[in-house]
Amino acid sequence: MRPVNPLFDELRTLATEQRNPATLSIDVAPVDEIVRLINAEDHRVAEAVREELPHIAEAVRIVVRAFRAGNRLFYVGAGTSGRLGILDASECPPTYGVDPDMVQGIIAGGPPAVFRSQEGAEDSEQRGADALVEAGVRPGDVVCGIAASRRTPFVLGAVARARAMGCPTLYVTCTPRSEFTVPVDVAICPVVGPEVIMGSTRMKSGTAQKMVLNMLTTASMIRLGKVYENMMVDLQMTNRKLVERSRRTVMTVTGVDYEEAARVLDSADGHVKTALVMILGEVDAAQARRRLDRASGFVRAAIADQEYVPAD
């Protein structure tokens, strides 16, 4: 008998490569049933992510410490996982007004792989390690590997290089924790069960990964003072929608009318936080900025003219 390829043998046992007994007849199901089956399986994702909340919270603390020290977050993935990392990173600057370098995505195969599959690029650990160096990762930066199956060589190589450099490391995978052996500071392991279509990890696994990445950056930005109440207050007014959202935010929080919100934002150089402190703290722009500096950018503390003391 022909020897079994080690990779074949590994794939055969992965949780992400099992057949889903609920969808064995999906190929002959009517469209209504197909979409019902997909939806039913998607309902499992949020529950799987909920089981990982303590680990996600610990990962957030690591990311926040890095950000406060002037370091960055790098996502590393291949295929769907890599694209999700790039998506999450690309949305941080317009949403929270941060520098594009603060959160970055690295994908196997480089930028072309974002738009067209470069699947063979994921098979080399050395390429992952080299990509990390080429991206300018330095000690203190957080490196988060993303791989539904845990085993992607490109990601493993990048994470190993990061640890050797002294970087905190995270890993987001849909492999059960009991089977996860990669040495990292925090592993996040939502187990979503077999995919609707065997091995199609762009489905439930991808959804789980997107939910986790949303939490990592959103919670981190909240802990950095980028949110007041439940509103984005460090967004950049880079298009008409964001200009109007900024005005609406000022109006909603302070109760002023449209014209007054526009006027104060103009005098605050378009900075929503400054405008809020000006109105609610009854100070001018210069005083509002000084208060925000003293409060480390937290609007609540700046309105009260207090220093910000982090909860954790």
Catalytic residues: 91, 122
- The DSSP H or E segment spanning 34 is helix 31-50
Determine the Cα–Cα distance for residues 124 and 133; give it in Å rounded to an integer.
15
Q: Among 148, 116, 6, 141, which residue's Cα sits nearest to residue 63?
A: 141
What are 263's two structure tokens? 């006027």
Residue 76: strand pairing partners: 106, 145
Residue 236: DSSP 8-state: -
Q: Greatest CA span in the chain, whole angstroms?
A: 82
Cβ atoms of 64 and 189 closer than 8 Å: no
Q: Degrees (nearest 5) of the Cα angle 16, 19, 22?
A: 115
Task: Say how many C-beta atoms besides its own lie within 10 A of residue 96's C-beta.
Answer: 23
Determine the Cα–Cα distance for residues 75 and 81; give it in Å rounded to an integer.
9
Determine the Cα–Cα distance for residues 210 and 294; give it in Å rounded to an integer.
35
Residue 144: strand pairing partners: 75, 170
Q: Torsions phi, psi of 105, nearest 5?
A: -115, 135
Determine the Cα–Cα distance for residues 225 and 146; give it in Å rounded to an integer.
27
